[in-house]
Structure 1
């Protein structure tokens, strides 16, 4: 019988892309959600419409209580301001 996934045991870990450092979690995470989207466009031609699509984009929404001294929060904030990529893993702590 399939087991139900309990989201309370799932946390996100982050690190700067390509950095050899261990990934770290954002402290005091309360919830997160993932979504995927792909823009589609249609270009009219004399022979009919030509369909095209953009690359798949993923978005993660995180809710957490901000800690005053969380280096992971600082790294995530810096990634937006300084425009560097970040790796992210969703880890289910209930898995053995």
Structure 2
């Protein structure tokens, strides 16, 4: 789903209070905890984390929560971490199911 938010706070307010918001907030907290140096902004109508370019993007879709990795080379041990996940050209992975 696309949320027309101007900043991360507004994005979070627009999310419905359901399992997707719960999962998104848990992933968001991990990003903030393990990479506090990354700036959180809205790009492409979703949460983006990085400095000059995005490293991660996070979005609540209709039936799942997506975590996109901008450059897979920036993720240590990526192949092991992504085992069992679907990933394509620009999208590093999206959860298979809840």
Question: Does the TM-score normalized on the shorter chain lie above 0.5?
Answer: no
Higher strand fraction (1 or 2) = 1
Computing the radius of gyration over CA atoms, which structure comes out larger, 1 or 2? 1
TM-score range, shorter chain: under 0.3
Higher relative contact order (CA 8 A, sep 6+): 1
Higher helix fraction (1 or 2) = 2
| TM, length-normalised to structure 2 | 0.24
